[in-house]
């Protein structure tokens, strides 16, 4: 009897070590870039995110060391159900190991559940909602680039401190807009300001004049735009037309990307404040990356922070895989390893990944240059202030993420 038991134990031990050896040597990785390839966010993520992922694969140098790495991409069309369906199919059928980008907060929250259920991994760069590392946090998700808490904290606080103490919000009516308005309201109120009204518009609206008239009538000092992409550019453009800024009210682009500024043109966008964790023209390394990136883009665009986040997040993922000695095809295990290793890359600098999945790094407050200050194409931002990594994002102690032990 004792012999039999020890034989079983020995067999089990052998089986475990054999399977351990098997994954330790498994050097295949499949990366899925799930993004908006054709809609209003396609320029800030979209095909550029796929280019960034491919550059990360090349720059990791892993293919030279015998690794097989595939990058595939799909368009979720900004629809959570489509995003979740693609994620399921990718994980079950295509055996995708890690889902990258996943912009659009609605889609990201849906994919978050799928990834957790199937013990896969999402390195989110494009979605803004701070719920991904708050009440909906998951051991299978790393939130890389930015979130609504950081945007509210950086842009919101700076504007209230500069005297903008009454706010009116123009908000995109879905998970992202609501989270951004909620987080910014908290910052405004905490700094002694007041929110005197808001209007929620459907995603992808072309005409904002009705909403702008309401904002104008509210007489709020700051009109906060809790929307993104084409919605924000149309709001800004039409606000100029209705004389809102000329009338003394100030526009706050709570989430404004480089491609949005490019699309508006400096004459319209000049003077806007915005927060970002990455700017292509920050230093020699970011410029070198941006140049290579731009050369591969059909539109010759410079990278946004979302695309930079895909690159940096993926490089960190590769570091974790190498530290594990191979690909275990186990989302939690890789995420844990990513949290263990401090982050350090040429685009975002030094930082770390918190227990709730939040990657932290410095955040910057920029002002859009006047046309006369810009020296050439894509020379758009000047630095106003820097928030260090440990203050830019929500402290883990304030997070209501169930993963964090208090």
Partner 1 sequence: MQALLAQLLVGLINGSFYALLSLGLAVIFGMLNIINFAHGAVYMMGAFCAYFLLNVMGIGYWPALIVAPIAVGIFGMILERTMIQWLAGLDHLYGLLLTFGLALIIQGVFQNYFGSSGLPYAIPPELQGGMNLGFMFLPIYRGWVVVCSLVVCFATWYLIERTSLGANLRAATENPTLVRAFGINVPRMITLTYGLGVGLAALAGVLSAPINQVRPQMGADLIIVVFAVVVIGGMGSIMGSIITGFALGVVEGLTKYFYPEASNTVVFVLMVLVLLVKPSGLTGRTT
CB of 76 to partner 1, least distance (A): 14
State which residue, 117 or 207, has the beta carbon closest to partner 1: 207
Asked if residue 66 lies in contact with residue 27, where contact means CB atoms within 8 angstroms, the answer is yes
| Pick from 231, 241, 247: nearest CA to 171 | 231
Residue 367 binds partner 1, judged by CB under 8 A: no
Among 207, 373, 390, 398, binds partner 1 (CB under 8 A): 207
Rounded Cα distance between 130 and 148, Å, is 5
Mapped onto helix, strand or coil, the DSSP state of residue 128 is coil
Query: Which residues from 281-340 bind partner 1, rule CB under 8 A?
Result: 298-299, 301
Query: Which residues from 25-54 bind partner 1, rule CB under 8 A?
Result: 38-44, 46
Among 169, 211, 293, 348, binds partner 1 (CB under 8 A): 211
Among 4, 267, 375, 406, binds partner 1 (CB under 8 A): 267
Structure-token match 């909602």, residue found:
129
CB of 170 to partner 1, least distance (A): 10
Cα 15 from chain centroid (whole Å): 41
Up-side HSE of residue 35: CA atoms within 13 Å toward CB? Answer: 30
State which residue, 250 or 319, has the beta carbon closest to partner 1: 250
Q: Other C-beta atoms within 10 Å of 148: how many?
A: 29
| Burial class, 246, CB count within 10 angstroms (exposed 0-12 / middle 13-18 / buried 19+) | exposed
CB of 41 to partner 1, least distance (A): 7
- Report the helix count and the strand count for the chain, using DSSP H and E: 15, 15
Among 229, 326, 349, 351, binds partner 1 (CB under 8 A): 229
State which residue, 263 or 343, has the beta carbon closest to partner 1: 263
Rounded Cα distance between 155 and 199, Å, is 20
| Pick from 153, 150, 127, 363: nearest CA to 228 | 127
The region of 26-34, 53-61, 124-132, 241-249 touching partner 1 under the rule CB under 8 A is 241-249
Among 153, 155, 263, 277, binds partner 1 (CB under 8 A): 263
Q: How many residues bind partner 1 (CB under 8 A)?
A: 45
CB of 367 to partner 1, least distance (A): 19
The region of 260-268, 279-287, 314-322, 343-351 touching partner 1 under the rule CB under 8 A is 260-268
Asked if residue 281 lies in contact with residue 367, where contact means CB atoms within 8 angstroms, the answer is no
Asked if residue 303 lies in contact with residue 290, where contact means CB atoms within 8 angstroms, the answer is yes
CB of 259 to partner 1, least distance (A): 5
Among 200, 292, 329, 382, binds partner 1 (CB under 8 A): 200
Residue 199 binds partner 1, judged by CB under 8 A: yes
Q: Other C-beta atoms within 10 Å of 272: how many?
A: 23
The residues that bridge with 201 in the sheet, in sequence order, are: 172
The region of 117-125, 255-263, 309-317, 365-373 touching partner 1 under the rule CB under 8 A is 255-263
Rounded Cα distance between 167 and 57, Å, is 44
CB of 128 to partner 1, least distance (A): 17
Radius of gyration of the chain (CA): 22
- Token pair belonging to 293: 């990136």
Residue 205 binds partner 1, judged by CB under 8 A: yes
Query: Which residues from 147-186 bind partner 1, rule CB under 8 A?
Result: 173
DSSP 277: S
Site residues (vs partner 1, CB under 8 A): 38-44, 46, 173, 199-202, 204-207, 209-211, 213-214, 216-217, 229-230, 233-234, 237-238, 241-243, 247, 259-260, 262-265, 267-268, 298-299, 301
């Amino acid at each position: 009897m004792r012999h039999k038991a020890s034989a079983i134990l020995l067999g089990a031990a052998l089986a475990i070590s054999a399977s351990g050896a098997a994954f330790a040597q498994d050097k295949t990785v499949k990366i899925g870039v799930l993004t908006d390839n054709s809609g209003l966010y396609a320029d800030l993520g979209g095909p550029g995110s796929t280019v960034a992922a491919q550059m990360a694969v090349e720059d990791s140098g892993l293919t030279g060391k015998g690794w097989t790495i595939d990058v595939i991409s799909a368009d979720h069309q900004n629809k959570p159900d489509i995003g979740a369906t693609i994620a399921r199919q990718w994980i079950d059928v295509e055996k995708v190991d890690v889902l990258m980008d996943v912009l659009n907060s609605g889609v990201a929250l849906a994919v978050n559940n799928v990834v957790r259920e199937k013990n896969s991994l999402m390195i989110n760069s494009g979605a803004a909602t701070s719920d991904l590392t708050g009440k909906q946090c998951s051991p299978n998700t790393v939130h890389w680039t930015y979130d609504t808490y950081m945007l509210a904290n950086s842009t919101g606080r700076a504007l209230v401190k500069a005297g903008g103490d009454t706010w009116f919000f123009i908000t995109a009516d879905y998970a992202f807009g609501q989270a951004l308005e909620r987080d910014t309201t908290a910052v405004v109120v905490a700094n002694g300001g007041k929110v005197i009204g808001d209007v929620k518009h459907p995603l992808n609206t072309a005409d904002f004049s009705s909403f702008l008239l309401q904002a104008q009538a509210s007489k709020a000092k700051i009109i906060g735009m809790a929307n993104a992409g084409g919605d924000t550019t149309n709001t800004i453009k039409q606000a100029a037309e209705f004389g809102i800024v000329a009338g003394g009210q100030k526009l706050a682009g709570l989430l404004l990307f480089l491609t949005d500024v490019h699309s508006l043109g400096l004459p319209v966008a000049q003077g806007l404040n915005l927060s970002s964790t990455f700017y292509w023209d920050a230093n020699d390394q970011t410029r070198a990356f941006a140049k290579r990136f731009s050369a591969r883009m059909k539109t010759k665009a410079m990278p946004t922070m979302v695309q930079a986040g895909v690159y940096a997040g993926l490089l960190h993922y590769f570091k974790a895989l190498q530290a594990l000695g191979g690909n275990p095809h186990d989302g939690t295990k890789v995420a844990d390893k990513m949290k263990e290793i401090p982050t350090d890359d040429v685009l975002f600098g030094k930082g770390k990944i918190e227990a709730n999945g939040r990657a932290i790094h410095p955040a910057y407050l920029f002002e859009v240059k006047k046309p006369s200050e810009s020296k050439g194409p894509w020379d758009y931002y000047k630095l106003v202030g820097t928030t260090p990594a440990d203050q830019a994002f929500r402290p883990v102690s304030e997070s209501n993420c169930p993963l964090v032990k208090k």
